[in-house]
Structure 1
């Protein structure tokens, strides 16, 4: 199996140290969507506190959930595509920086290597996700997201049900997800709390 992309913590922190003071502090309530342009000008977000999600604009599929600290919008400033939507999943705090101001600071402080590290991480994370779910059957897709959900902190797992987590990220039908989960529970591969919140996984089979 291909290794999971490694989050470039050092590069993220260097960028945040330089860029955060240049922006305006923004507090976003849960479920609030964030825009890529303010008064027609592109912006970059330094993600300081909370949980954000990234969704495809075309179909609403959630492709990533990110905990602080992180940085978003560099690619949108350089190559505007507006293919993805950023949304706060919990009460979040960000610094919103004018794109031109951010690029000038990146140049001044010699941070292009760090920018490359962050953008490479984003690209490889999307590629890794696709390798796990594209051209896979329903069970394999559900298995991947169950394993991903298991790795999240308990406070997050107790906030989103298994069904909601998988549906938001795949578009699979409610019945196909519930049938698979029911079968796994029957065979004692999964334990979940009332409401469908994941507690434990036990030796999920590779295929069914």
Structure 2
């Protein structure tokens, strides 16, 4: 082991056997990521929890008693934070987590294994919540192909779908938060969000890896709803 520039021990993974270089690099990055270690110590299901913590600390999205929808929630790091911040485990708010994958139980979180792209998904969610949401958030990332233009289209398409879903379930004044990449939300989506919300900005929490093009679009003050 060697030390990095901060003085921490840096774990190096040996190549060999059937392990691909990409797998070696991913494993090495995980082993040396302070947020991965911190998440394990503090009981969060993923390092992504710290991204939402940072964004919420700065912009105050999550308040006690709110109704929150977490799209693509598994493994549940964002749902954990939302449940704690809105007080859903104590009956003060609601957190509905949606994913195609199964997700282990989290106190204060209602999980629905469904496709949010399904035509009846918004209606099913509204029924589950017995009302509209105050926050719709998404840390989803589209499956990548390695082809830059194709991947960008997939990413944009997923964010657009999440934004459309949000517009169908949010309360007036509600918030939409979603992961985007590279230059952020594309011009068409950004224009739509600016029509639908009072304020729209891109944010990059410190816990996002610095070598990542990951950013988030944060839209607050939903003008629609019923």
Q: Shared fold (TM-score greater than 0.5)?
A: no
Between Structure 1 and Structure 2, the one with more helix by share is 1
TM score, norm. by length of structure 2:
0.28
Q: Could you say which structure has the greater relative contact order, defined with CA pairs below 8 angstroms and 6 or more residues apart?
A: 1
